[in-house]
Amino acid sequence: MLSPERLALPDYEYLAQRHVLTYMEDAVCQLLENKEDISQYGIARFFTEYFNSVCQGTHILFREFSFIQATPHNRASFLRAFWRCFRTVGKNGDLLTMREYHCLLQLLCPDFPLELTQKAARIVLMDDAVDCLMSFSDFLFAFQIQFYYSEFLESVAAIYQDLLSGKNPNTVIVPTSSSGQHRPRPTLGEASMLEGVEASLFCQCLENLCDRHKYSCPPPALVKEVLSNVQRLTFYGFLVALSKHHGINQALGALPDKGDLMHDPALDEELERLLAQIPGLVNSVTAGPEASCLPARTPPRVGSPWRPLHHTRKVDAESDGSTEETDESET
C-alpha cells in the first residue's frame, strides 16, 4: 500500500491519475441534478449506487459523450456496454453501414460524434469507400482501437505523415539512432512506389511516443510485436493489425476474444425469457447451444472485473433489496 511511488506523487496528481476526481465531480453533479429524487432515499445510498455502477461499467449508459470519453475506464465500459447490447445484431449476421452503427452508438450515447465512427469505419475498410457494409465484429474491434486510443492514434497519424514526407521526429530525441539520422530524404517518386513506412523506424517512434505521453497507449511490447512481423506498413495497415491483435484486446479488457464475441450465456438466457413473454408466441425452439448452458454459473472466460460482479449482484438481489431484479421477476 504505502509503496514509495505512490507517495512520490503529489496528492492532486495522484488523484488525477486515477481519475478519482472525475468520478467525484460527476457524482456530485448527478446529485445536484436529481436533488429531489435522491433526497428521498438518502445520499449515502446514492453514492453507493453510483460507485457500484462505476465498477460495473453501467455508469456510462445514456450519458453525454464528454463524460464517456473522460477516463479510460469509461471508454472501456462503453465499449463493453455496446458489445453486450448489440451482440445480437452481430449474431444475426447483418452487415450494416457506418451510419447505422453510428445510430446504434447514438442509442446509448445521444451526442456521440460522427467523426469517431467514421474513423473506425476507415480502419475496417482500409480508407476505401466509407459506405460499405461492415460486419459487427470487424467494426467493433476497429472501433475499440479508435475510441480507446483516440489521442494515441492521432499522434501516430502525425508521426506517420512525418515519416512519409521524410522528416524523422526522432532525430532530435534519440541521437544514437543510426538508421534515423543518416537516412536520406526519399524523393517523391520513391515514396509513392514504396507504400507506407519502414516498420522498425516506425516502431522506434512509437516507443518514444508511449514513453512521453500520459494518456493511454497500447502496451509497447505488443506494439513491437505487431511491427516486427512486417517490413513496411501503411497507417491503416498498422491500425488494422492493432485491432485484430488478441493481446491488445485482452490488455484492454473490455471485449472478449473474437471467437467468443457472440457468446454471452447470461444475456442469452435473459433474451429467451423476454422472447417467451411476447404475447401469443408459441414456444420457439432456440438455436444454438447457448440456451443449454448452465445459467450464469460458468466461470468467466475473460479476466475482467465485470462478470463476477454481475453474478454477485444477482446473488445480492434478494438481500440487497435492489429493485431491478425483482421488477423483472414480477413482470
Footprint of other proteins (CB under 8 A): 11-12, 15, 21, 24-26, 28-30, 32-34, 37-38, 40-41, 46, 49-50, 52-53, 56, 58-59, 61-62, 64, 81, 84-89, 92, 94-97, 99-100, 103-104, 106-107, 110-111, 267, 270-271, 274-275, 278-281, 284, 321-331
> From the CB of 120, what's the least distance to other proteins, in Å?
17
Measured from the CB atom, the residue of 184 and 321 that comes closer to other proteins is 321
Measured from the CB atom, the residue of 47 and 250 that comes closer to other proteins is 47
> From the CB of 326, what's the least distance to other proteins, in Å?
5
> From the CB of 100, what's the least distance to other proteins, in Å?
5
Long-range (24+ apart) CB contacts under 8 A made by 298-303 are 298/265, 301/256, 301/257, 301/260, 301/263, 302/250, 302/253, 302/255, 302/256, 302/257, 302/260, 303/253
CA–CA distance, 294 with 292 (Å, rounded to integer): 6
Q: What would the grid cell of residue 108 be?
A: 446509448
> From the CB of 235, what's the least distance to other proteins, in Å?
30
Q: Cβ contacts of residue 19 below 8 Å, gap of 6+?
A: 70, 71, 72, 73
> From the CB of 307, what's the least distance to other proteins, in Å?
13
Measured from the CB atom, the residue of 170 and 304 that comes closer to other proteins is 304
Measured from the CB atom, the residue of 60 and 217 that comes closer to other proteins is 60
Q: What would the grid cell of residue 154 be?
A: 492521432
Pairing verdict, β 197-198 and 232-233: antiparallel
Give the DSSP letter of residue 96.
Answer: B
> From the CB of 293, what's the least distance to other proteins, in Å?
16
Measured from the CB atom, the residue of 54 and 120 that comes closer to other proteins is 54
Give the DSSP letter of residue 305.
Answer: S
Measured from the CB atom, the residue of 103 and 221 that comes closer to other proteins is 103
H/E run at residue 232: strand 232-233
